[in-house]
Structures are given as C-alpha cells and as structure tokens.
Amino acid sequence: MVSRIRSEVGWGKEFFTFLREVDSGKIVAGDGVSVQDSGPMSSHPLIIAIDGPAASGKSTVAKRVARELEIVFVSSGAMYRAFTWWILENGVDPEKTNAVVSLLGETGFVCGEEDAMGTISIGGRRLTSAEMSAEAVNSNVSVIAAIPEVRSRLVSEQRAYARENGVVMEGRDIGSVVFPETPHKFYIDASPEVREQRRRAEGIRDSIAARDRIDSSRKASPLVIPDDATVVDSSFLSVEEVVDRVVSAVRGQ
C-alpha cells in the first residue's frame, strides 16, 4: 500500500543546484575495474531507496537523509550521467544502441566512498559539475538510461556496492528494481509546474514533460511508484520537513 505525505511550506532555490545530481569533483570517467554482482548479501546493511521524477528534490533529500543517518549517499542518476558523458566523449551516437552497448562492454566502473559520498570511476578522468550538467548530457541521459543492457549493468554495480556498504540511493527504479526487498522505500514527488520552476532555477533547460514521458514509458525499468513506498509530495514542503518525515519513517520501521 502506498502512503502519502503532504504539507504547505515552500522550498528554497538554494537547494536546487547540480549537487542534487552529482557531487562536483567526485565523479570520474575513464577505464576502471568492474565491480561484479556476486551473489546474495553477506549481511543486512541499511538500504534506503528514494525514487522520483526529475526535479522532485529526491537528490537533496537523499543526501540530507544519508548525513542524518551517517551512511553513504549514492546517486544512481550520476552513474547514468557519467556514462552518457563518456559516450559523447568517445564520439558514439547515443541513438546507435549497438555502438553504445559495445562501448559499455569495454567500460569498467569502480564504486567507492569519500566523505560519506559514493564515488564512481570510469578510467581516471575527473569530471566537473559543468561537464556533468552539459546540455548534451541532459538531452541524452534518458535515451541512454532506457537501454536495457545499460540498466542491467548499472543495476549490478549499484547492488554490488550496497551489499558491502549500505546506502541511501536515489534514482527512478531503486525501490522497484534495484532493491525491491528493502522495507525503506520512498517516492519524492512534486507537481510538474513546481518541478519546471526548480529546473529553470538550476539553469537547466531540458523539458520536464519530455523527461517524464521517456522515464515512464521506457521498456527497461520504467519510473513507477512501488506499491509499498511512502510517497512524499514536496511541492509545498521544506527540505527539512521532507527529510524529517523520511528519517522518522526509517527509524520507525
């Protein structure tokens, strides 16, 4: 059963920087060593899944929740953005699925941790926030994320990392596909109008409507609300209120 939480306090623009998607200077691209998905978890680390559409505030909330609970934050969106950047850097057409999958097979990801933040390495190149938020990346990341082989590979990387560390992970299929077994599932939502305003405040000009359409209709792991997720409508909530509700729910479960 999906539960819903609402309130009436506005969000401040200062929370909607690109740090919601990528912690600047902590995403690296190039050749790395692959992390393998190697069987069941050896223990029961705390795994908190936070999903939601673009500009819903899920990344800001996930970071604050991780800080409050003193566990690692991982942005699954940053992984897809990093690979999208890598595709473009290598001159591969994002629309050419076979070429994308071929490059994927040659690309190694390393997931690590620094200052309680998940890190991603794809070869040695440290990316800036400007590179990760480039218009070309914004325009193509949903196309890349819709490729089944890409999602399968990155889901494997995400599970392998969480198996060892425990995480607060945000994305679009974390509770429905990556960690369906965790009891700690949250879906952070907001109205399309509010999300459009937040996106513009970040200086990002991609279309929320187009992004929602791609994310919700793709064949591989479409954006859905898990049946047992707690839904928090952030349209008229402060960041602190959303974080308090998530942390309280986790501690009460």
Mean predicted lDDT score pLDDT of the chain: 81
- Per-residue model confidence as pLDDT tens digits over 46-77: 999 999 999 999 999 999 999 999 999 988 88
How confident is the model over 94-106, as a mean pLDDT?
Answer: 96
* Total domain count, the chain: 1
Residue 187: HSE in the Cβ half-sphere, 13 Å Cα cutoff: 19
Domain that holds residue 221: 3-38+45-252
Q: How far is CA 213 from CA 33, 111, 216, 230, 247, in A?
A: 34, 30, 5, 23, 30
Give the Cα separation of 56 and 53 in Å (integer).
Answer: 6
Judged by average pLDDT, the poorest of 35-44, 108-117, 160-169 is 35-44
Task: Give the CATH number of the domain where residue 191 resides.
Answer: 3.40.50.300
Confirm if 93 and 85 have CB atoms less than 8 A apart.
no
| pLDDT value at 202 more than 80 | yes
Torsion (CA) 68, 54, 140, 168 in degrees, nearest 10: 20
pTM reported for the whole predicted model: 0.75
pLDDT range class, residue 20, cuts 50, 70, 90: very low
Give the Cα separation of 47 and 50 in Å (integer).
Answer: 10
How confident is the model over 227-232, as a mean pLDDT?
Answer: 96
